[in-house]
Amino acid sequence: MKYMLLMQFSAEGTEFPAITEWAEQDVKAHIAFMGAANEKLIADGEFVDAQGLAFPDSAKIVRASGTGGGPLVTEGPFPETKEFLAGYWIVDCESEQRAIEIAGHVSGAPGPGGEPLNMAIQVRQVMAAPPVEL
């Protein structure tokens, strides 16, 4: 089964500064941890995809105009935004429990001073299409 693991950062309740304020060695340790986690998923045959996302200030919200004109685009960020999606993994593993184990591992990625970040990782099963009768 495929699961999407969504790495969410929250402005509220965090005990660490934005990654742009971390010491260089802490950023390198964080990136090395994530790289090692991805390599293990690849070796275990569970890796499908993983991507980090740009900061929310480059986000755009797009909606159909409903008038046949071009799409309506709203610039971000929004001052009321308290959480944002920082990145994701798609894993293909045998059970939800295994997806939760993976999420727990990456949640503890090192932050400033090597302390675990304990990031919120949302685990959601990727919907499968219904079987097709031939």
What is the phi/psi pair of residue 91, to 5°?
-120, 150
| Predicted confidence (pLDDT) per residue in 13-53, tens digit | 556 777 888 999 999 999 999 999 999 999 999 999 999 99
Q: What is the CATH number of the domain that holds 40?
A: 3.30.70.1060
| Predicted confidence (pLDDT) per residue in 96-105, tens digit | 999 999 999 9
- Is 75 inside a domain boundary? yes
In the predicted model, is pLDDT for residue 69 greater than 90?
no
- Is 82 inside a domain boundary? yes
- Is 134 inside a domain boundary? no
Q: What is the count of structural domains for the chain?
A: 1
Distances (CA, A) of 22 to 19, 77, 129, 130: 5, 22, 43, 46
In the predicted model, is pLDDT for residue 54 greater than 70?
yes
The average pLDDT across 72-77 equals 79
What band does 81 get if pLDDT is binned at 50, 70 and 90?
Answer: low
Three-state secondary structure readout of 11-77: CCCCCCCCHHHCCHHHHHHHHHHHHHHHHHHHHCCCEEEEEECCCHHHCEEEECCCCCCCCEEEECC
- Is 130 inside a domain boundary? no
In the predicted model, is pLDDT for residue 56 greater than 90?
no
Identify the CA nearest to 40 among candidates 100, 88, 91, 85.
91
The average pLDDT across 59-79 equals 81
- Is 45 inside a domain boundary? yes
In the predicted model, is pLDDT for residue 79 greater than 70?
no
**Domain coverage including residue 48:** 2-125
Provide the whole-model pTM.
0.83
Q: What is the pLDDT of residue 91?
A: 98
Please name the amino acid found at residue 52. Answer: G
**What's the mean per-residue pLDDT of the chain?**
88
Q: What is the pLDDT of residue 7?
A: 93
